[in-house]
Amino acid sequence: MFYHEVRHFETQQHKDDSTFKYLHSLSEKLIFNVHPNPVESFFLPAISEWDSCNSGFMERIENKIKSYMPEGDCISRYVYLCVNKKSGEKFGYDLIQIEIPLFVVESYLFDIQSLCHVRTVDFCNAGIDEYMRRKKRHLNSAYLSWIPVLPFQEGFIFIAALHIDKALPNQLYPPKATINLPYEYWKYLG
């Protein structure tokens, strides 16, 4: 599916939801710059082994990110997003850098900590909101909807939107760099 088809499909799933359609129109004002090359490629351990290597892995990734962080830019936020390798190797991921200079539009916040990559085949039958509910990915009761922001590899990068009045301080003022691990690992970080 092309990007506009995904937007159309998701809008059709919510025909009566004017908020959803409005969020889609607002999301067109967002700017996402994806660095063309991965920051790093790596294999995550099996989930059962995650606890034993979690801190060492995160330290290694944070050190790598420091060398990629542009200096002097006080406005932009950077999300380092883990996406499955194109080859489909189990536990194989690329860490990509996404620059986001704007994440609040009018009275809505697009939560950069919710940014995730979902393959098209995973959500094309039921829609992204239903897929996220089933997978319980980054669930936050204040999330109004998931918005496709750009096509990437065999899927799309999505971001959750919420009303700015419902945002938590860490969503309003995110750190300069955020690491978004795949959900199955992220949920263990507490």
Q: Which phi and psi angles does 67 have, rounded to 5°?
A: -75, -15
Give pLDDT tens digits for 31-48.
888 888 888 888 887 777
Residue 57: exposed, middle, or buried by beta-carbon count in 10 A (0-12, 13-18, 19+)?
middle
Give the whole-angstrom CA distance, residue 54 versus residue 50: 6
pLDDT at residue 98, rounded to an integer = 92
Give pLDDT tens digits for 86-110.
766 677 888 999 998 888 888 899 9
Position 1 pLDDT exceeds 50: no
Q: Taking the mean position of all CA atoms in its chain, how far away is CA 108?
A: 17
pLDDT at residue 10, rounded to an integer = 52
Amino acid at 97: Q
